[in-house]
Amino acid sequence: MTLTQQIITISLAVLAVQLTRWLPFWIFPAERPIPEYIRYLGKVLPPAMFGMLVVYCYKNIDMNTAYFGAPDFIAGGIVLALHFWKKNMFLSMIAGTGLYMFLVQVVFVH
């Protein structure tokens, strides 16, 4: 890419990020109530997103391998247990990811 193309690309990326940050405040100003449908989406989309992430994470488990997806299910169980215990999504995701990486690279080595 030429320097001009790089500058245009970076400028468009900055513009797109800023537009997505400002757009909700322009569409839903503070002095107007938020529509009920948008409130509904705010309640149901986060759990739906995590449901899709779970399906995505478990979709490629091969039950014909030696470990039958053990690292995936162990890490998933830890994520659930930590989340129900501490109610901290960040902690449970970081701990689950770290445990999964440890299990895959150290314990369940092919």
Rounded Cα gap, residues 75 and 79, in angstroms: 6
Rounded Cα gap, residues 60 and 58, in angstroms: 6
Task: Express each pLDDT in 1-30 by its tens digit.
Answer: 999 999 999 999 999 999 999 999 999 999
Rounded Cα gap, residues 89 and 49, in angstroms: 13
The pLDDT of residue 64: 86
Residue 48 has pLDDT above 90, yes or no: yes
Q: Which two tokens stand for residue 23?
A: 């757009």
Rounded Cα gap, residues 52 and 74, in angstroms: 19
pTM exceeds cut of 0.75 = no
Largest CA distance in the chain: 60
